[in-house]
Amino acid sequence: MDMLKIAVYGKGGIGKSTFSSNLSAAFGRAGKKTIQVGCDPKHDSTFTLTGDLIPTVVEVLSAAKFKSDEIERDEIIFPGKYGVDCVEAGGPPAGAGCGGYVVGETVKLLEKFGVYNDYDVMVFDVLGDVVCGGFSAPLQHSEQVIIVATNDFDSIFAANRIATAIGIKQRSGGGTLAGIVANRASNAELVGPYAQRIGSVCLTCIPENDSVRKSRLTAQTVFEQDPSGELGRPWTALAARLLDGVPLVVPTPIPERELFKQLGAD
Ligand code: ADP
Ligand code: MG
């Protein structure tokens, strides 16, 4: 099987890390060797997979006085549950430096360690409020993108910007769109029509669920939180579909003023 490289983008706080870490867990449970790379300065992407906040690439780089040649693979890649390996890019101190630079350096280090050939599945979890500079680097290394949104204006506005970035990066070999996940959503009321309008689909709806929130607080994946597998069902089902292969499209984003007219007045 070719390596499945997925970049998860979406507005801050929308549920990207919750989605990504449970998806990686689902791939691991399906016997796939998986690596998750947290690319958000918040650096808690892999928290439920390792049960801890692992050292970040920027911390390790900083300790090595930014001599990336001196960094070893096991200083930045840590084993997590279900055989999922975990990396956190981290970020500069708030208000100083560029988070995008850190993501760019992380992607380069992973390239140096050859991880792009070592796994069945790679999941990048990336902040998507602004897809500039280094934050767009994972697009270049992914075959496909999943956007996490919900049925509101702000997250769909962010999704539209990500769709624009996908279109631009795709011209130089970047990944294309697998679809949008509606998180904290019992239906696809706004996400579904938006996805269709840009030529894509709503992949699944993940309802608001207090057990999902609690799993984050107890540093557990949804599969440990509910060993019956019921809570993790959306992730198990989506992982299987992604492994089978889903259609990928270059999205046609909506002009921002039109999006305001359609959704901005709710
Ligand atoms: P992001 O990575 O996009 O910043 P997180 O995954 O950290 O967002 O989620 C933000 C918060 O929302 C977390 O406390 C998480 O537990 C909670 N959360 C995410 N998805 C759900 C859900 N479907 N139901 C309940 N709480 C959720
Ligand atoms: Mg996150």
| 199 band by pLDDT with thresholds 50, 70 and 90 | very high
> What's this model's pTM, rounded to 2 decimal places?
0.95
Q: Is the Cβ atom of 21 under 6 angstroms away from ligand 1? A: no
Whole-angstrom distance, CA of residue 206 vs CA of residue 201: 15
Q: Does the annotation mark 11 as catalytic?
A: yes
**Most ligand 1 atoms within 8 A of CB, residue of 213, 218, 220, 221 to mutate:** 213
pLDDT band at 134 (very low <50, low <70, confident <90, very high): low
Give the tens place of pLDDT for each residue, 150-193: 999 999 999 999 999 999 988 888 889 999 999 999 999 999 99
The mean pLDDT value for 72-90 works out to: 97
ipTM of the complex: 0.99
CB distance 201 to ligand 1 below 6 Å? no
205 close to 182: Cβ distance less than 8 angstroms: yes
HEC secondary structure over the chain:
CCCEEEEEEECCCCCHHHHHHHHHHHHHHCCCCEEEEEECCCCCCCHHHHCCCCCCHHHHHHHCCCCHHHCCHHHHCEECHHHCEEEECCCCCCCCCCHHHHHHHHHHHHHHCCHHHCCCEEEEEEECCCCCHHHHHHHHHCCEEEEEECCCHHHHHHHHHHHHHHHHHHCCCCCEEEEEEEECCCCCCCHHHHHHHCCCCEEEEECCCHHHHHHHHCCCCHHHHCCCCCCCHHHHHHHHHHHHCCCCECCCCCCHHHHHHHHCCC
Q: Residue 125 C-alpha to ligand 1 middle, in angstroms?
A: 13
User: Does the pLDDT value for residue 73 go beyond 80?
Assistant: yes
Both structure tokens of 183: 């998180």
Tens digit of each residue's pLDDT (9 = 90 or more) over 42-68: 899 999 999 999 999 999 998 988 888
What is the percent of the chain with per-residue pLDDT over 90, rounded to a whole number?
73
**Residue 217 CA: which ligand 1 atom is closest?**
16
Q: Is the pLDDT assigned to residue 1 strictly greater than 80?
A: no
Q: Any idea which of 10-14, 98-102, 223-227, 234-238 has the lowest mean pLDDT?
A: 98-102
**Beta strand 85-88 pairing with 34-39:** parallel
